[in-house]
Amino acid sequence: MSLDLNPVSVSDYREVARRRLPTQLFDYLDGGSYAERTLHDNVEAFARLKLRQRVLRDVSVIDTRAEVLGESWTIPAGLAPVGFAGMYAKRGEVQAARAANKFGVPYTLSTVGICSIEEIARATGKPFWFQLYVIKDRGYAAELMKRAHQAGCSALVFTVDLAVLGARYRDIRNGMNTQMSVLKRLKVAADFARRVHWIKNVALGGRPLDFGNLREAVPNARGFGAFGAWVAQNLDPSMKWEDLEWVREKWPGKIIIKGVMDADDARLAMNAISPDGIVVSNHGGRQLDSTPATIDALPAIRDEVGDRTTLLLDGGIRSGLDIVKALARGADACLMGRPWVYALAARGEAGISDMLRTMQQEMHVAMALTGFTKAAEIDKSAIADA
């Protein structure tokens, strides 16, 4: 059977997405910064960790659920914020939020989503998370937080590792956010034109250049270039830990700090505002290259924060086995970005739903064969030679 009709693993969905998407869009999703070493290491570090197989235990009942930040998750892995997801499928953020809600995990809407906060709220009728960048226009940031709170968002994911943009060479080669020669524009246009599935489902039916959350900020802009330029110009490299007090003043709900990779920074975050959660994240290898893999940075940060906050991890999750490994290394739960967008680009909402069910089944097998019956009980003994 054709892979396009029956993708199963995250790598399957990635390959279908590669075939269907314009190269510029696929590389924006798939790529990382500079030589992409950190992007590669995020995945390879999980592969290097070996699970400790245990047998002849009663594993007839397996519970993959997790209680995270007062919410019950079907598996301890939510959907991370990914910018411009509506470029990958018709109203992509709405499809992702629906799939997450039906399965029972949180969806996180990016500041630079195609679909607006209000559209997600209308489409789902359930709480979701909202991700906010560090931006100079504090008035607009405050307005976004107000809109998210009014829409019922249950947590604010405040991303702190974007003081400046990392150099993503695939995007530069593909002419994204840069001035292109006439020849390059023609080549890019020709590549878009041959992606019939994308044209039919996204370009013609999905309003992919709507940019709902930034519509008022950049009212006359169209395309990645204009919005990318606005984001780059509005990143705030002057923000410091003490400025998080302003975020706490403006946001009445749970705050999750995303982008911590160092135990000292975790301590500073706890001292600054004692966040409800911290995400160990290197932005999926899209910012500073040659940083440690997130799964390698995780244990020291867990040692630093102890049980004082909820600790999440993103970067490198590609299977339910990886989720088990992350829990064993100290995470309370995970967030994953590329996997759900690959599935979205391949098969829309149904693809995300199937991918999540596959991850749950992979967790089920990994737990049964490491001797754990509850996700909440997974600890470092699940890792061989831990």
Residues serving a catalytic function are 283
Scan for tokens 């999905």, then name that residue: 206
Q: What H or E segment, with its residue span, contains residue 273?
A: helix 263-273
Q: Answer yes or no: are the C-beta atoms of 82 and 341 closer than 8 Å.
A: yes
Nearest of 67, 64, 128 to residue 96 by alpha carbon: 128
Q: What H or E segment, with its residue span, contains residue 130?
A: strand 129-133
Kindly report the three-state secondary structure assignment for every residue of 3-49.
CCCCCCCHHHHHHHHHHHCCHHHHHHHHCCCCCCHHHHHHHHHHHHC
The terminus-to-terminus CA distance of the chain in angstroms comes to 41
Nearest of 25, 78, 11 to residue 314 by alpha carbon: 78
Q: In this structure, which amino acid lies at residue 238?
A: S
Q: In this structure, which amino acid lies at residue 138?
A: R
Per residue in 168-186, is it b (16+ CB within 10 Å) or e — as a string?
Answer: bbbbeebbbbeeeeeeeee
Q: Answer yes or no: are the C-beta atoms of 203 and 92 closer than 8 Å.
A: no
Q: In this structure, which amino acid lies at residue 149?
A: H
The β-bridge partners of 335 are 78, 314
What tokens appear for 76 in the block? Answer: 């301890």
* 107, 108, 227, 260, 333 from 113: Cα distances, Å: 12, 10, 11, 23, 23
Helix, strand, or coil (residue 107): strand
| Phi–psi pair at 315, nearest 5 degrees | 105, 105
Residues 6+ apart with CB under 8 A from 177: 171, 224, 225, 228, 229, 232
**In angstroms, rounded to a whole number, what is the distance separating the alpha carbons of residues 225 and 361?**
40
